[in-house]
C-alpha cells in the first residue's frame, strides 16, 4: 500500500516498485532524514501548525526509530519507495495517526534536498580530515628528506636537481588546495532548502529560519523552485573529489615508477604491496594502481551528474534520484583511496643513495653551469651555448661535468676557475636555489611550516 494510493485504482506493478525504489541506496541517509524530520516537527509545533503534544510525540517516535536503526533492531528490508517514505511509515505504525501530521508543509522534494545536503556536508568534513592526515604524512616525510637530492623531470627526462622533500611538498600544495575546494563547496552545500515544499512553498505559517538554526545551516535558500531543482552543490562536491583523485592518481603513477627496478627510488612496505600468482619475485604496487584506476570511476560519477542534470526542466524530476549512487560512489572511493594511500606512503622506504645516483647522471647541473658563466659576466645565451658544447664533449668522452679537469673547462671558456666544482656539486645546486618556493632546504622547511600551520588551523 502506497502513501499516495488515493488517486490510483490499481496496485503498482511489482517491477515498477523495484525500478522506482531508492531505499537500497538512500537508506544510508536515515540519520539525516530523521534529524531533518525532528527539526521540521519542532518547527511545526513552535509555529502552531501542529499541537505541542503532537510535535512531542512525533519527535520521540523519530528518536526511537533512529535508535533502532542505529542498534540494528530495525532493518532497511522493506518495499517502501525511499528512506523518507519508510521512516514516515514506521512512525505512523508506532505512534498512530499523529505520525501522519509530520508531512504537513513539506514534500519529499524539499526533504530529499535537505537530506542530501546534510549528508554531503558531513562527507565534506570527513574527507577534509582524511586529507589532513595525508598532509601530515607528506610533511613528515618531506622533513626527513629536505636534503635528499633527486632529479626533477620535465618530459620525464632528468631536468634539474631538487630534493625528495621538495617533490613531496608539491603534492602537499595540491592537497591543500583540495581542502580549500571542499571548504568552498561546503559554503554552498550548507544552505537549508526545507520549506520549499513540492515547488511553490506553502500557505502554512512556517518558519524556515528556525529549521536552519536548529540544523546548523548558514542560511536558507531564497527561491522555492531553485531549492528543489538544482543539484549543483552535489556536482561541485563531486568535482572537488575528482581533483583529489586526479592528484592521488598522479602521485600513484610516480609511486609505481619509483618502485620499479628501473627507478628504485622507494620501496613499498610488504603490508602495502601484493604478490603475483605466477611470478614469485614480484612485488606489485596494486594500491597505487587501483587508486589510479578509481580516479576514472570518480570522473565517471561526475560525468553522470553533469549529464543527468543538463536537460531537466524546473523543478524536481525523478531523474535526480540518480544523483545519490553517483555521489556516494565518489565519496566512498575517494575516502578509501585517501586513507589507504596515506598508509602506503607513510610505510614506504625512501632510498636516498639511489636518488642521488640518478641525479648524478643526465647532466642535470648543466643549467647551473650556464648560470656559473652568466654570473661571471657572460650573457646567458652565450653561457648556454658554451655549456651545450661542454655537455656534448662529456657525452662523447663518457664524462660528467664534475669529472672534467679545469684545463678541459678552460678550453670552452677562460672564465672557469676552481670554484666551478663546488658550484656544480649537486648539493650546492640545490641549496643555492633559494628563490621563494625553491628546493633549497630552508625554502622547503618554510613550505613545510606553512603547510603545518594550515593543517592545525
Is 82 one of the binding residues for ligand ARG (CB under 6 A)? yes
Is 88 one of the binding residues for ligand ARG (CB under 6 A)? no
Is 106 one of the binding residues for ligand ARG (CB under 6 A)? no
Query: Nearest distance from residue 2's CB to ligand ARG, in Å?
Result: 11
> How many residues form the binding site for ligand ARG (CB under 6 A)?
9
> What CA–CA distance (Å, rounded) separates 79 from 267?
51
Kindly tell me which of 2 and 132 has the beta carbon lying closer to ligand ARG.
2
Is 315 one of the binding residues for ligand ARG (CB under 6 A)? no
Is 117 one of the binding residues for ligand ARG (CB under 6 A)? no
C-alpha cell, 151 = 632529479
Strands 219-220, 191-192: pairing kind: parallel
The distance between the two most distant Cα atoms of the chain, rounded to a whole number of Å, is 102
> What CA–CA distance (Å, rounded) separates 244 from 334?
8
Query: Nearest distance from residue 224's CB to ligand ARG, in Å?
Result: 15
C-alpha cell, 115 = 537530506
Q: Of the listed pieces 201-209, 313-321, 338-346, 435-443, which binds ligand ARG according to CB under 6 A?
A: 313-321
Is 229 one of the binding residues for ligand ARG (CB under 6 A)? no
Tell me the β-bridge partners of 154: 157
> What CA–CA distance (Å, rounded) separates 198 from 108?
7
Query: CB neighbours of 361 closer than 8 A, spacing ≥ 6?
Result: 158, 400
* Cα–Cα nearest to 344, from 272, 275, 257: 272
Identified binder of ligand ARG from the candidate list 7, 9, 10, 318, rule CB under 6 A? 318
> What CA–CA distance (Å, rounded) separates 251 from 348?
13
* Cα–Cα nearest to 228, from 114, 324, 325, 122: 114
Kindly tell me which of 116 and 130 has the beta carbon lying closer to ligand ARG.
116
Which entry of 14, 71, 75, 155 is annotated as an active-site residue? 155
Is 234 one of the binding residues for ligand ARG (CB under 6 A)? no
Burial of 152 (0-12, 13-18, 19+ CB in 10 A): middle
Is 109 one of the binding residues for ligand ARG (CB under 6 A)? yes
Is 365 one of the binding residues for ligand ARG (CB under 6 A)? no
CB-side neighbour CA atoms (13 Å) of 39: 25
Kindly tell me which of 108 and 433 has the beta carbon lying closer to ligand ARG.
108
Kindly tell me which of 239 and 328 has the beta carbon lying closer to ligand ARG.
328
Is 26 one of the binding residues for ligand ARG (CB under 6 A)? yes
Q: Is 155 a catalytic residue?
A: yes
Identified binder of ligand ARG from the candidate list 137, 320, 350, 404, rule CB under 6 A? 320
Query: Nearest distance from residue 113's CB to ligand ARG, in Å?
Result: 9
Query: Nearest distance from residue 92's CB to ligand ARG, in Å?
Result: 18
Is 29 one of the binding residues for ligand ARG (CB under 6 A)? no
Is 40 one of the binding residues for ligand ARG (CB under 6 A)? no
CB-side neighbour CA atoms (13 Å) of 355: 28
CA dihedral (217, 221, 225, 229) in degrees, to 10, reads -50
Is 148 one of the binding residues for ligand ARG (CB under 6 A)? no
What is the three-class DSSP state of 203?
Answer: coil
Q: Of the listed pieces 68-76, 189-197, 216-224, 318-326, which binds ligand ARG according to CB under 6 A?
A: 318-326
Q: Is 247 a catalytic residue?
A: no
Is 108 one of the binding residues for ligand ARG (CB under 6 A)? yes
Q: Which residue has the cell 656534448?
A: 392
> What CA–CA distance (Å, rounded) separates 43 from 202?
14
The residues binding ligand ARG (CB under 6 A) are: 22, 26, 82, 108-109, 112, 318, 320-321
* Catalytic site positions: 155, 276
Amino acid at each position: 500500500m502506497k502513501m499516495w494510493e488515493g488517486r490510483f485504482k490499481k496496485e503498482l506493478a511489482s517491477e515498477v516498485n523495484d525500478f522506482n525504489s531508492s531505499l537500497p541506496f538512500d537508506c544510508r541517509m536515515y540519520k539525516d532524514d530523521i534529524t531533518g524530520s525532528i527539526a521540521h516537527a519542532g518547527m511545526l509545533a513552535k509555529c502552531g501548525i501542529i499541537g505541542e503534544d503532537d510535535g512531542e510525540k512525533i519527535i520521540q517516535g523519530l528518536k526511537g526509530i533512529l535508535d533502532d536503526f542505529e542498534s540494528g533492531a530495525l532493518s532497511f528490508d522493506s518495499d517502501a519507495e525511499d528512506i523518507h517514505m519508510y521512516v514516515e511509515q514506521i512512525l505512523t505504525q508506532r505512534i498512530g495517526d499523529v505520525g501522519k501530521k509530520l508531512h504537513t508543509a513539506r514534500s519529499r522534494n524539499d526533504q530529499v534536498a535537505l537530506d542530501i545536503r546534510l549528508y554531503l556536508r558531513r562527507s565534506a568534513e570527513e574527507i577534509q580530515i582524511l586529507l589532513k592526515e595525508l598532509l601530515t604524512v607528506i610533511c613528515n616525510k618531506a622533513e626527513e628528506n629536505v636534503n635528499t637530492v633527486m632529479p626533477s623531470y620535465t618530459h620525464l627526462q632528468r631536468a634539474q636537481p631538487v630534493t625528495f622533500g621538495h617533490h613531496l611538498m608539491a603534492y602537499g600544495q595540491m592537497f591543500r588546495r583540495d581542502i580549500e575546494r571542499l571548504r568552498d563547496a561546503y559554503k554552498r552545500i550548507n544552505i537549508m532548502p526545507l520549506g520549499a515544499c513540492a515547488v511553490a512553498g506553502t500557505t502554512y505559517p512556517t518558519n524556515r529560519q528556525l529549521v536552519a538554526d536548529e540544523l546548523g545551516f548558514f542560511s536558507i535558500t531564497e527561491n522555492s523552485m531553485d531549492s528543489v531543482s538544482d543539484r549543483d552543490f552535489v556536482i561541485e562536491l563531486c568535482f572537488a573529489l575528482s581533483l583529489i583523485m586526479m592528484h592521488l592518481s598522479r602521485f600513484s603513477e610516480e609511486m609505481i615508477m619509483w618502485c620499479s627496478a628501473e627507478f628504485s627510488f622507494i620501496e613499498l612496505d610488504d603490508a602495502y604491496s601484493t604478490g603475483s600468482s605466477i611470478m614469485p619475485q614480484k612485488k606489485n604496487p596494486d594500491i597505487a594502481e587501483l587508486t589510479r584506476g578509481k580516479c576514472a570511476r570518480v570522473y565517471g560519477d561526475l560525468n553522470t551528474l553533469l549529464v543527468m542534470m543538463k536537460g531537466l526542466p524546473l523543478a524536481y524530476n525523478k531523474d535526480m534520484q540518480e544523483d545519490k549512487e553517483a555521489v556516494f560512489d565518489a565519496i566512498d572511493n575517494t575516502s578509501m583511496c585517501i586513507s589507504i594511500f596515506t598508509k602506503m606512503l607513510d610505510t614506504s622506504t625512501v632510498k636516498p643513495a639511489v636518488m642521488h645516483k640518478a641525479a648524478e647522471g643526465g647532466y642535470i647541473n648543466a643549467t647551473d653551469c650556464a648560470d656559473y658563466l652568466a654570473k661571471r659576466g657572460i650573457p646567458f645565451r652565450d653561457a648556454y651555448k658554451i655549456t651545450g658544447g661542454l655537455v656534448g664533449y662529456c657525452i662523447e668522452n663518457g664524462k660528467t661535468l664534475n669529472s672534467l679537469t679545469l684545463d678541459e673547462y678552460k678550453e670552452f671558456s677562460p672564465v672557469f676557475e676552481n670554484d666551478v666544482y663546488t658550484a656544480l656539486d649537486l648539493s650546492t645546486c640545490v641549496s643555492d636555489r633559494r628563490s621563494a618556493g625553491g628546493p633549497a632546504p630552508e625554502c622547503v622547511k618554510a613550505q613545510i611550516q606553512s603547510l603545518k600551520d594550515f593543517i592545525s588551523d
